[in-house]
Amino acid sequence: MSDATADAQNEAGKVLAADGTPLKKSLRRALRTQKMRALLLIAPLLIFVVVTFIAPILDMLFRSVENQIVSETLPRTVVELREWDEETGNLPDQVAWEAAYKDIFYAAERKLHTRLGTRLNYEQTGISSLFRKSGRGLDDIGEVYQDQFKDLDKSWDKGEPWASMMGSDAFNDAMSNWKKGDPLPQFEARAGIAEVLPETAAAYDWFARFQLTEEEKSLHKEEPWTLVHWALYKDLKAGDVSGYTGPGAEMLAEADALVDTPDFETIAIQDAFVEFDEDWADVEVWRTIKTYSPPYTSGYFLNAVDMQKSPTGPEMRDEDERIYGLLFKRTLFMSLVITFSCILLAYPVAYLLSNLPMRTANLLMILVLLPFWTSLLVRTSAWKVMLQQQGVINDVLVWLGLVNDADRLVMINNQFGTIVAMTHILLPFMILPMYSVMSTIPPSYVRAAKSLGATNWTTFWRVYFPQSVPGIGAGSILVFILAIGYYITPEIVGGTTGTFISNRIAYHISSSLNWGLAAALGSILLVVVLVLYWLYDRIVGIDNVKLGG
């Protein structure tokens, strides 16, 4: 039998669709089309979840370890500090000081030095003001050299002679023909200038690119930074420029001769920095810069558990600086207390609603839902008025003679006030899941148990209560997760002893702007919630949690 005949027989044995396509292939195509249609239907919801839920969580996790601001703002200093042994107690060498001068000068021009100071200030108090002072005073170093070069030849203080010497002929021609409103030409260094004046070429390149791209100004009209004059001094002192014959060669030769004279005034970078702020002479400042120079750090997570990075590794903070461990314990404890308080108060209410006639139950349910129609801030403020020492509750207790006027109860700005206010606010979230489950329990079960001789208590405990447990579980999870992340109510009524870890997270986000630490605290809180959720699933079983039905 030939192959063609065999193929024809196999094809003839297949079940075909109406259009002649094999049925199996046609079904696969139809299923693929249905899947694509289903995917397109859920795509908006999927995108919404990714953008509003998954992406923020991933961003939070990234911010909790991201630390690139140090290495990006002080790139040369970071490289030099790698070879510095901070254990000796000696300050870094002169090369590191000069690298810091260049980095901070450039950062100050871009207004980034204060951000860096704020970041390092999280690790060592006082560094923020240190960088602010240094940013304002760095011009003083270069002005020592700028003034002497200018006294020698005023051209050193003008933009065009510098641009002619440091830039290529093509760039200078384009710069000369440039008119305001036209795109600025891209800076191109003169061939060979980097070999003659390496420090100056590098410093002028920073200046030129900054002026052209960020300031959008002509290099023929802008005098160079004082940093460029300092770099020129370094090159003239270290090298030989006698072989240079390009533009500005005569000026350069005169400056070279000036630098070699004994009357030429110089200033040590280290002395200048210490004059800005004596804290630069503190080894701890440089140790902090080196410790937090990697682009990623565990420092935020260590701070979140009352630890800190040190040259020898992680170590505990001083006793009086440990606050986050206490806040985490307090948050978990008070959230559990609030959850149990809600269970005790919500269970009888839900039981009553589920066993009343539907018309009456619906009317009473309005009272349960009424708090949702009132502002959270109003409800919390009302408790502050009621619980204060001159508030309604204390006045009633004094009027009844249960409390002396001089010994009024302190029920606000503490844990008690937070528990009372949050129990009231979260109570509806416990009642509704309980009610939805209890309303599905058939009354015939209770009647059957009683008809068999069971007492009211036995009927409730052995028959009714086990069927209501899924509602308790659903309400408990909902209330606990809401409570552990609350911060508005504890902020208003909690005082110093009733605040949660979420209040500290909100503080770091809105006030201290320490987003890395806030992200680390939020990540730890997320992990704690997931662990508790996992434990609940192992002990109770998440399948037993129901919202009714």
CATH of the domain at 446: 1.10.3720.10
For 330-399, strand residue ranges (E) read none
Name residues whose C-beta falls within 8 Å of residue 479's C-beta, 6 or more positions apart in sequence.
338, 339, 342, 426, 429, 430
The answer to whether residues 256 and 121 belong to one domain is yes
Q: Is the pLDDT of residue 46 over 50?
A: yes
pLDDT value for 5: 46
The type of residue at 184 is L
The answer to whether residues 374 and 496 belong to one domain is yes
Q: What is the pLDDT of residues 453-493, one digit of tens each?
A: 888 899 989 999 998 988 898 899 889 989 998 888 999 88
The answer to whether residues 32 and 100 belong to one domain is no
Residue 503: count of CB within 10 angstroms of its CB: 18
The answer to whether residues 230 and 199 belong to one domain is yes
Flag whether 299 is in a domain: no
Helix (H, G, I), strand (E, B) or coil at 307: strand
Q: What is the pLDDT of residues 344-359, one digit of tens each?
A: 999 999 999 998 888 8
Note the Cα 541 to chain centre separation in Å: 34
Q: What is the pLDDT of residues 168-212, one digit of tens each?
A: 999 999 999 988 888 889 999 999 999 999 999 999 999 999 999
Please give the Cα distance from 75 to 295 (Å, whole number): 11
Which of the 8 DSSP states describes residue 498? S
pLDDT value for 542: 65
The model's confidence at residue 38, banded by pLDDT at 50, 70 and 90, is confident
Q: Is residue 342 a contact partner of residue 479, using CB atoms and an 8 Å limit? A: yes
The type of residue at 437 is V
Q: Is residue 77 a contact partner of residue 269, using CB atoms and an 8 Å limit? A: no
Flag whether 304 is in a domain: no
- Residues 236-240 have a mean pLDDT of 88
Name residues whose C-beta falls within 8 Å of residue 406's C-beta, 6 or more positions apart in sequence.
none
pLDDT value for 231: 94
Full residue range of the structural domain in which residue 208 is found = 75-290
The answer to whether residues 227 and 373 belong to one domain is no
Return phi, psi of residue 22, to 5°. Answer: -55, 140
Contacts of 133-138 with C-beta under 8 Å, sequence gap 24+, read: 133/276, 133/277, 134/104, 134/108, 134/273, 134/276, 134/277, 134/280, 135/104, 135/107, 135/108, 136/108, 137/272, 137/275, 137/276, 138/101, 138/104, 138/105, 138/108, 138/226, 138/227
Flag whether 450 is in a domain: yes
The reported pTM is: 0.77
Please give the Cα distance from 373 to 379 (Å, whole number): 10
Separation in Å, CA 403 to CA 47, 406, 407, 516: 59, 8, 7, 48
The answer to whether residues 139 and 247 belong to one domain is yes
Flag whether 444 is in a domain: yes
Q: What is the pLDDT of residues 371-418, one digit of tens each?
A: 888 888 888 888 988 888 888 888 888 888 888 888 888 888 899 999
Which of the 8 DSSP states describes residue 315? E
Q: Is the pLDDT of residue 537 over 90?
A: no
Flag whether 115 is in a domain: yes
The answer to whether residues 52 and 127 belong to one domain is no
Q: Is residue 112 a contact partner of residue 73, using CB atoms and an 8 Å limit? A: yes
Distance between first and last Cα of the chain: 65
Q: Which residue has the tokens 């120079």?
A: 293
End of a domain among 63, 96, 111? 63
Separation in Å, CA 85 to CA 82, 269, 292: 8, 20, 15
Q: Is residue 471 a contact partner of residue 543, using CB atoms and an 8 Å limit? A: no
Flag whether 306 is in a domain: no
pLDDT value for 10: 46
The model's confidence at residue 243, banded by pLDDT at 50, 70 and 90, is confident
pLDDT value for 79: 94
Helix (H, G, I), strand (E, B) or coil at 478: helix
Q: Which two tokens stand for residue 455?
A: 């007492």
The model's confidence at residue 450, banded by pLDDT at 50, 70 and 90, is confident
pLDDT value for 180: 82
Flag whether 350 is in a domain: yes
Please give the Cα distance from 453 to 455 (Å, whole number): 7
Overall number of domains in the chain: 3
Q: Is the pLDDT of residue 534 over 80?
A: yes
Share of the chain above pLDDT 70, in %: 94
The answer to whether residues 372 and 255 belong to one domain is no
Q: Is the pLDDT of residue 540 over 90?
A: no
The answer to whether residues 413 and 341 belong to one domain is yes
Concatenated DSSP letters for 382-423? HHHHHHSTTSHHHHHHHHTTSS-GGG----SSSHHHHHHHHH
Q: Is the pLDDT of residue 331 over 90?
A: yes
Separation in Å, CA 231 to CA 102, 146, 227, 238, 539: 10, 10, 6, 11, 70
The answer to whether residues 337 and 275 belong to one domain is no
Q: What is the pLDDT of residues 500-514, one digit of tens each?
A: 999 999 999 888 888
Name residues whose C-beta falls within 8 Å of residue 198's C-beta, 6 or more positions apart in sequence.
235, 239
Q: Is residue 141 a contact partner of residue 124, using CB atoms and an 8 Å limit? A: no
Residue 171: count of CB within 10 angstroms of its CB: 20
Mean pLDDT score across all residues of the chain: 88
Q: Is residue 249 a contact partner of residue 206, using CB atoms and an 8 Å limit? A: no
Flag whether 425 is in a domain: yes
Q: Is the pLDDT of residue 9 over 50?
A: no
The answer to whether residues 58 and 104 belong to one domain is no
The type of residue at 236 is L
- Residues 104-118 have a mean pLDDT of 92
pLDDT value for 108: 92
Helix (H, G, I), strand (E, B) or coil at 415: helix
The answer to whether residues 409 and 540 belong to one domain is yes
Q: What is the pLDDT of residues 222-233, one digit of tens each?
A: 899 999 999 999
Burial environment of residue 95 by CB neighbours within 10 A (0 to 12, 13 to 18, 19 or more):
middle
Task: Give the lowest-confidence range in 26-30, 83-87, 235-239, 517-521.
Answer: 26-30
Q: Which residue has the tokens 């003239």?
A: 236
Q: Is residue 350 a contact partner of residue 435, using CB atoms and an 8 Å limit? A: yes
End of a domain among 246, 270, 290? 290
Q: Is residue 171 a contact partner of residue 299, using CB atoms and an 8 Å limit? A: no
End of a domain among 63, 84, 112? 63
The type of residue at 61 is L
Name which of 360, 145, 149, 351 is nearest 268 in CA terms. 145
Please give the Cα distance from 213 to 223 (Å, whole number): 16
Kindly state the helix (H) or strand (E) to which residue 5 belongs, with its residue range.
helix 3-12
